[in-house]
Amino acid sequence: MATATKMTQTQIVKELADKCGCTNKVAKMFLEAYGGMAVRETKKGGVFVLPGLGRLVKQQRKARMGRNPATG
């Protein structure tokens, strides 16, 4: 069974740049703008659809009690 590996941001930017025929700088600007737009729209409307990929849905979770490891 193969272990799935996560792509780093640099790897994603490089592959986007190669596929689109643009520079790494332009691909990184696109990725940051797309991610920012997705987060902003999810916060505003509760859902953001990534056409052809999926959707981001805002979830409400209960607060949990944290524990300081230094003081217990």
SS3 letters across the chain: CCCCCCCCHHHHHHHHHHHHCCCHHHHHHHHHHHHHHHHHHHHHHCEEEECCCEEEECCCCCCCCCCCCCCC
Q: For the segment 19-38, what is each residue's pLDDT rounded down to a tens digit? A: 999 999 999 999 999 999 99
Lowest-pLDDT range of 11-15, 24-28, 56-60: 56-60
- The reply to whether 37 falls in a domain is yes
Assess if residue 68 is contained within a domain.
no
57 lies in a domain?
no
Q: Across residues 40-50, what is the average pLDDT? A: 90
Flag whether 1 is in a domain.
no
| Domain total of the chain | 1
Which domain, by its residues, includes 31? 9-52
For residue 43, being part of any structural domain is answered with yes
